[in-house]
Structure 1
Amino acid sequence: MKPKPQAIPEIQIIPVDRAHPKPQALPSAPRDLRELRIEEFLQARSIASRTQKAYRQDLQQFLDWSDQSWAEISPRQVAQFKAHLMRKELETDQRVLSDATVRRVLGTVKNFFGWMTRSRYISVDPTTEVDLPKLVEPEAQNLNEAEVERIYQAIHQSPMPERNLALTSVLLHGLRANEVSALNREDFDGRRLTIRVAKADSKGAVPLTQDGIQRVEAYLSWRQAQGEAVQPTSPLFVSHSRRNAGQRLKYEGIRKVVDAISQKTGIEFHAHRCRHTFATNLVLKGMNPYHVMTLTRHRSVQSFRRYTKAADQAAAEAAFYDTTRTSQTQESPETDSSLFT
């Protein structure tokens, strides 16, 4: 008996909605090839992540301004970019960017093109004939003795005096806020602080005054009395807020402490003013500026000069009075004692 043939199913026509076709995935836009050179430039440098971010932002301004390849950039275009950075608002006739900002951005561009030339991606550096804006030599923003005393008095009345006294004392030994945040218990040996994480790899050691030693030790003893097991790898300064209790006191936390002190005292106080105070006071007291630079870990004599200006002025005035007194004692009564007639 033969099997029955299977019925052929009827063909069904499925209508296609041509008014609403299925969307097709668009090809992703090709990445700007100029950015690849920037990434390579940043990878070749030994700089902190924050510095990398700043460099990338500076170079992005050039990318936004010009769509030409790096090899096509001429000295004239770099000069035009400088003029663009130094432009003024039409309504206010005020500069959009300060000289310091223009100098930083243009300096990053010059740094990048110098690397491009040394790496032989381009044959001629188009930035060599374009000068950076000149800046007025900055003044040191040191605190005077009365201001420091008011700050310490305000800290005694703060919610966390044990930590904040030690924190401010360490800042007043010239450490940057990020360096203070990175300190561990093992970095304090009872006499000095060892800075292992620092800007531009400016590591080193800073001795503490007796008051500074006592304040750090008092804070560590207070933490242990609170039941904390302070280990060598424990952060030297920790947060004592409800949210972050026991965690490392970060840069933002240090800034909050300093801002609260500034608001309480009415003093324009920020962490870097402590660094200025440390360097300026040591130079004024007669310490060799080279040794002060060793403690502050400055690499540039030019950037350090702001701290020596007050001492240079005081020394010049002292020499002036010594000279005029000597001149007057050597002159006869008939001689005009004025040096400026």
Structure 2
Amino acid sequence: MNAGEQLMSDVAAYISELVPVNIEQVKNKLSMILTKYHVKKVEKTEVHPDLTDKIQLFLSAKKLEGLSPVTLDSYLLELNTFSKKVMKRVEDITTAEIRVFLGSFEHLKLSSVSRKLSVLKSFFGWLTAEEFLQRDPTTKIKPPKKEKRLPKALSIEELELLRESCKTNRQRAFLEILYATGCRLSEVHALNKSDINYRTSSCRVIGKGNKEREVYFSPKAMYHLRKYLMNRTDDSEALMVTERKPYRRLSQRGIQREIGIIAKQAGLDKKISPHTMRHTFATLTLNNGADIAAVQALLGHEDPATTQIYAQLTEEKKRETHKKYLVM
């Protein structure tokens, strides 16, 4: 029995339970109607096409809103994982099933589970707003309590040790640019030589949500950037390029690798990445008395609470404050 015949029999049987009818007549009528359609049965072992279609619609809508390709890829990965576990139409997915799905990741950190829930809340919230659903099944699910861990920033001594460990103009320029601007890796990766305003020692970057902001270079960063660019012989427009021919824009992974090499040369046993330099920029500027609203703008944070986590005073700063202001 093919899918169309199975559907016809199931519907006819259901109707006969509601009202007394001639089942054969009902089947004949349904058969005429179903000839206009291609019917395919969804097996229990496959993702329901309704869920797949809704995921694609959601991602298309988010792309139009300006979400970055990296964020969209992350959403797709998380939603594909969900769809393979909960293989139903979106309107049939319950809160309990979403809880069971999230609870199956016992091996992951709470932050990772929270990220999965955040994606699902965004997805089901959009479906509800677009009236594909009458009720959002994620509304009653609270995110796990955040692990209270301070961002890992470098001390001034560690930063100087990294600077002294740079063996090439390229390494020093990369390090100073990441630290002085406080930029995200993706923002620095996208920079071109023509983006640099030498008069103001600044440039404009495109951050999360496709939002543009201005960031600034320190005198050290400008000095080492000029040295790096003066020694380049390629005609690539990219600010950061590969060391070997054919010269091309250095990948994000390549920038990460270069910072890792500098850290290894410095003999530091902690993991250091481009994001560590962003943390260091935020922490050291705030500890030096910078206004938190200004740092928020420089970092491109939409929520002040995100910047606030960097405003934790270091032990050294607390000792200085105690010594300076204690009434003897």
Shorter-chain-normalised TM-score: which range? Answer: 0.7 to 0.9
* Distance of 2:243 and 2:296 partners within structure 1: 34
* Distance of 1:164 and 1:316 partners within structure 2: 34
- Tell me the equivalent position of 1:138: 149
Go from structure 1 to structure 2 and tell me whether the alpha carbon gap of 1:250 and 1:313 turns closer, same or farther (over 3 Å shift): same
* Distance of 1:277 and 1:30 partners within structure 2: 45
Q: 1:164 aligns with which of 143, 166, 171?
A: 171
Deviation track 1:284-311 (CA, whole Å, cap 9, x = no partner) reads 1111110011111111222212211127
Report if aligned partners of 2:207, 2:300 keep a CA contact under 8 Å in 1: no
- Tell me the equivalent position of 1:111: 122
- Tell me the equivalent position of 1:185: 193
Aligned residues: 278
Work out whether 1:60 is the aligned partner of 2:97: no
* Distance of 2:47 and 2:83 partners within structure 1: 15
- Tell me the equivalent position of 1:42: 59
Q: Looking at CA atoms only, which structure, 1 or 2, has the larger radius of gyration?
A: 1
- Tell me the equivalent position of 1:209: 218
Gaps of 5+ in 1: 1-28, 88-95, 329-341
Q: 2:90 aligns with which of 55, 59, 70?
A: 70
Report if aligned partners of 2:47, 2:83 keep a CA contact under 8 Å in 1: no
* Distance of 1:167 and 1:320 partners within structure 2: 37
Residue aligned with 1:205, SS: strand
Work out whether 1:264 is the aligned partner of 2:284: no
* Distance of 1:51 and 1:248 partners within structure 2: 21
* Distance of 1:277 and 1:193 partners within structure 2: 19
* Distance of 1:60 and 1:42 partners within structure 2: 12
Residue aligned with 1:172, SS: helix
Deviation track 1:117-170 (CA, whole Å, cap 9, x = no partner) reads 000001011111111111123312111122112211211xx3xx1222111100
* Distance of 1:68 and 1:154 partners within structure 2: 56
Task: Give the structure with the higher percent helix.
Answer: 2
Report if aligned partners of 1:202, 1:298 keep a CA contact under 8 Å in 2: no
* Distance of 1:137 and 1:316 partners within structure 2: 23
Match for 2:52: what amino acid?
E
Matching of residues 302-341 of structure 1 within 5 Å: 302-310=305-313, 314=317, 318=321, 322=325, 325=327
* Distance of 1:30 and 1:124 partners within structure 2: 22
Go from structure 1 to structure 2 and tell me whether the alpha carbon gap of 1:284 and 1:30 turns closer, same or farther (over 3 Å shift): closer
Go from structure 1 to structure 2 and tell me whether the alpha carbon gap of 1:130 and 1:229 turns closer, same or farther (over 3 Å shift): closer
1:197 Cα offset (Å): 3.2
* Distance of 1:313 and 1:109 partners within structure 2: 42
Deviation track 1:200-250 (CA, whole Å, cap 9, x = no partner) reads 324211121111111111222222xx4x457xxx111211124x4x21112
- Tell me the equivalent position of 1:93: none
Report if aligned partners of 2:47, 2:87 keep a CA contact under 8 Å in 1: no
Gaps of 5+ in 2: 1-45
Residue aligned with 2:309, SS: helix
TM-score (norm 1): 0.75
Q: 1:239 aligns with which of 233, 238, 242?
A: 242
TM-score (norm 2): 0.78
Report if aligned partners of 1:177, 1:251 keep a CA contact under 8 Å in 2: yes
RMSD (CA atoms): 2.6
Q: What percent of counterpart residues are identical? A: 24
